[in-house]
Structure 1
């Protein structure tokens, strides 16, 4: 019995080591969201609320809200809006200093994924950050 008690925490710690989560930062370097690849590329806000997911469509990695709205693209670690402006990025993907990541909130239940819309043609990516905040961008996907 003692062996089983010690095995459970050991298995839990090993599984958390392999979690595939990529933090997403806004233009100021604040961690506001993250992609959880263990949850089928679901994008969560830092508090654990699922808001969107990444769907591969041909060569495009499209950001789709759980409300069915097409939000933008995820390309080379940067999230772009429909106009081609950067709204968020993973550490090292954009020229910015990132802040220390606080503890993430507990993940809420992920909604059922909607039928994904056909994505528009990608615009030419603009240099620099757009006027839309990462939070406002991702809020466009809330059910």
Structure 2
């Protein structure tokens, strides 16, 4: 009986830590609603691919959003109102709240070590944002930051 109580206690501790951990992450979905990446809020706003590779990070901009920079220093786009947008202003990724429907989130791989941040490119002017997803898939856009 004591062993069962101990196992149940461990289960609840693990379950609670998983819930707390999930609150520190924002899932990014592609145009068809599949989870491709996530923002680790408690990890300096680092963007990880679903497979655990750190590829980019967010840096506050003066217009009320965030620049998306790859660890290689490339300016990839902007994160504004739940969407990551490319240099043409089209959406590539979006949060669950910004999308009308999404697929079930599968388990994520463990986070890999973050590389050092390279010197950043000068950010271009923001384009007008479109109301649709563009031709650049979420994985491709964010993957450019890890090269």
Q: If the length of structure 1 is used for normalisation, what is the TM-score? A: 0.86
Alignment of 1:26-45 (within 5 A): 26-45=30-49
- Deviation string for 1:88-142 (max 9, x for gaps)? 1000213x31000000000000111223333111111011110011111011101
**How far apart are the structure 2 equivalents of 1:15 and 1:55?**
28
Determine the C-alpha separation between the residues in 2 that align with 1:65 and 1:15.
Answer: 29
Work out the CA distance in 2 between the residues paired with 1:125 and 1:21: 25
Supply the distance in 1 between the matched residues of 2:135 and 2:57 (Cα, whole angstroms).
Answer: 22
**Which residue does 2:77 correspond to in 1?**
72
Give the gaps of 5 or more residues in structure 2: 1-9
Q: Partner of 1:121 in structure 2?
A: 125
CA spacing shift, 1:17–1:67, aligned 2, 3 Å: same
Structure 2 length-normalised TM: 0.84
Query: Partner residue of 1:3?
Result: none
CA deviation digits over 1:52-106, x for unaligned, max 9?
0001122340000011000000001100000100001000213x31000000000
Query: Tell me, which stretches of 5 or more residues in structure 1 are unaligned?
Result: 1-8
Q: SS where residue 140 of structure 1 aligns?
A: helix
* Count of aligned pairs: 136
Match of 2:6 in 1: none
1:101 aligns with one of 102, 105, 108: 105
Structure 1 CA distance for aligned equivalents of residues 140 and 44 of structure 2: 22
3-state SS, counterpart of residue 98 of structure 2: coil
- Flag as ranges the 4+ runs of structure 1 deviating above 4 A: 9-16
